[in-house]
Structure 1
Amino acid sequence: MIVLHEDRETALPGATADGDSLWLDAAQVAQATGWTWKPEGLCHGDTCVPLPPARRGTIVRDGRLDLAAMWGYSGQPVLHDAASQVWVLGTGAQQRSAALGSLQAPDFALPDLDGRMHTLAEQRGRKVFLATWASW
């Protein structure tokens, strides 16, 4: 079993899959995601996502956590390819939007069609669409 999450690819030979469920023990959860499985839920630093009480019996079984169900419960996308045994644990749109909203591209200068130079800094505060291509 291979789990892809953020910038890591983790091979988990002891993990099991059952349909849309991905069963991992606590060590495998931490290895694949960086999150810690505690009795109160999945935790990363000071942030904890509690296990849903109504589904606790279906998410936890025999000392293993259905990470796919828990990931989906927390609002994060989960994809898997049963044939190749690859699982992708994505980042939700709200988290991506918050991260991207604070990013700024470094300043650079480019000429327009008449040869006049323009810098990105001149456009700060405005939306900019930059189209590039190669002719080779």
Structure 2
Amino acid sequence: MPISNSTVSVTTDSVLQLYSRGSRQHYFPTSELIYLQGDGNYTWLHWVNRPSIIMPKTLKQLAEMLPPGKFIRVHRNSIVNCQYVERLERLKAGLGIIHLVNGSALPVSRRRWESISELLGNA
């Protein structure tokens, strides 16, 4: 369900407002957002019970709109909601993978591994 020509804002109660040109506002609670994945100047938003949405914003722009302490950047192209982390897996050469409850597995960068592992309590 791609939404093109859209803008995004966040309110204090952790709700993303997505606007489609020529359409009404759509409100999505950030608590239902599993992870975000950057794709150049676009970002895919992956939800619990909704189809994924692509937004014409960079991952950095959207990261600034997320509630602090609930989301963590695990790689240059992905941010995850901490409440949907199933487990962390350490691979050879310092790389890691973060497994989410929806079955997704995302890479964890070497330089972020220790801080992510500490924050998530070795989930």
TM-score class, shorter: under 0.3
Structure with greater strand share of residues: 2
Higher-Rg member (1/2): 1
Structure with greater helix share of residues: 1
**TM-score after normalising by structure 1:** 0.22
**TM-score after normalising by structure 2:** 0.24
